[in-house]
């Protein structure tokens, strides 16, 4: 019996690896630049092309302002082109710069791919080596004298006199206006201090999910807003419950923070797939299935429940 169980587990693992290999093999990623000679401060144009079968969904993350040693200037809109053979190429241009001299490698960049069956995988973009030279010539070591001060003619005085009188007049007008406004000022009103919500994080999240559900965004066809509000609600919950800046992190960064917490691996995977599938609607312009969209709030509540059950194992489970 034990040998049979072991054999079944081995077959399942091999099958999963084979499917993942086939899935990854369908996608070709290139990351190139046409600029051969670079100097300090130049704008460097990087072209990212992902060639894939039709109906694949590609999510390219939005880079932070600082990307390793590079500064990100811009990321173009994502474009998808269909070829004669039926395959498609999803492209984006990334413009960066660097203020240092030497040879540098672009940092790791992970993209998310979903095939038509709903299988989600991550692929790393190939890294590029960029050599940046100084703006000075290599043999330019000559010291040069400082240029003498230039002799400029003295300007006429009357513009200064007229300008001074005009400035004085403007100051008097502003002073008069301020005085009149001060005389007509309303009585001092005590501004109430902002109320800090001390309720548990899950209570606040449930209340917000109920509010989103009542907005009937699905019935109005506003899917992107519906998914954005729901994922922002969960990010706010994580920020209050796990004390990390979930509102400012990407999906991959949240996954890394989960691994450093007390959340189980299985529950980390469930949260990651929730955010990844939502990103397809928010960033890849995917029109989701109505039935799945109507089930989104329920799935969001379930994700909150598994966090609470992981963090409070000795309390009554929700």
Per-residue pLDDT of 129-179, as tens digits, reads 999 888 776 666 676 677 788 787 877 888 888 888 899 999 999 998 988
Element of type H or E holding 122? strand 120-124
Mean pLDDT of 243-263: 81
Question: pLDDT band at residue 318, thresholds of 50, 70 and 90?
Answer: very low
pLDDT, residue 50, reads 92
Residue 38 forms beta bridges with which residues? 132
Q: Is the pLDDT of residue 1 over 60?
A: no
Is 169 within 8 Å of 161 (Cβ atoms)?
no
Q: Is the pLDDT of residue 317 over 60?
A: no
N- to C-terminal Cα separation, the chain: 37
Residue 57 forms beta bridges with which residues? 114
Residue 39 forms beta bridges with which residues? 133
Element of type H or E holding 57? strand 57-59
Backbone angles phi, psi at 18, to 5 degrees: -65, -45
Per-residue pLDDT of 277-316, as tens digits, reads 788 777 767 777 777 777 888 888 888 888 888 777 645 4
Output the CA–CA distances (angstroms, integers) from residue 208 to 28, 162, 214, 230, 282, in the order listed: 41, 62, 10, 9, 19
Element of type H or E holding 110? strand 110-114
pTM (2 d.p.): 0.42
Per-residue pLDDT of 95-136, as tens digits, reads 999 988 889 999 999 999 988 888 888 889 999 999 988 877
- Which ranges in 215-285 belong to alpha helices (H)? 223-242, 251-259, 265-283
């Amino acid at each position: 019996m034990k040998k049979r169980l072991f054999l079944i587990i081995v077959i399942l693992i091999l099958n999963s690896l084979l499917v993942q290999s086939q899935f990854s093999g369908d996608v070709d990623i290139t990351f190139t630049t046409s600029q051969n000679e670079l100097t300090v401060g130049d704008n460097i144009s990087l072209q990212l092309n992902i060639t894939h079968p039709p109906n694949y969904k590609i999510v390219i993350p939005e880079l932070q302002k600082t990307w390793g040693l590079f500064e990100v200037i811009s990321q173009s809109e994502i474009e998808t082109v269909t070829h004669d053979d039926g395959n498609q190429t999803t492209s984006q241009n990334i413009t960066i710069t660097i203020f240092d001299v030497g040879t540098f490698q672009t940092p790791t960049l992970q993209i998310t791919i979903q095939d038509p069956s709903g299988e989600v995988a991550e692929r790393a973009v190939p890294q590029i080596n960029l050599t940046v030279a100084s703006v000075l010539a290599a043999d330019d070591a000559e010291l040069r004298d400082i240029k003498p001060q230039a002799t400029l003619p003295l300007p006429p005085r009357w513009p200064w006199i007229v300008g001074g009188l005009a400035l004085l007049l403007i100051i008097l007008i502003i002073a008069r206006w301020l005085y009149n406004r001060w005389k007509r000022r309303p009585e001092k009103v005590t501004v109430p201090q902002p109320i800090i919500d001390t309720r548990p994080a899950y209570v606040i999240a449930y209340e917000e999910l109920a509010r989103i559900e009542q907005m009937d965004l699905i019935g109005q066809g506003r899917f992107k807003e519906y998914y954005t509000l729901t994922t922002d609600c969960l990010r706010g919950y994580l920020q209050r419950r796990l004390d990390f800046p979930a509102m400012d992190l990407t999906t991959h960064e949240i996954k890394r923070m989960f691994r450093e917490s007390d959340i189980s691996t299985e529950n980390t995977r469930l949260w990651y797939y929730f955010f990844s599938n939502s990103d397809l609607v928010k960033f890849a312009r995917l029109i989701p299935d109505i039935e799945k969209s109507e089930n989104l709030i329920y799935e969001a509540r379930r994700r909150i429940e598994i966090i609470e059950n992981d963090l409070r194992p000795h309390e009554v489970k929700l």
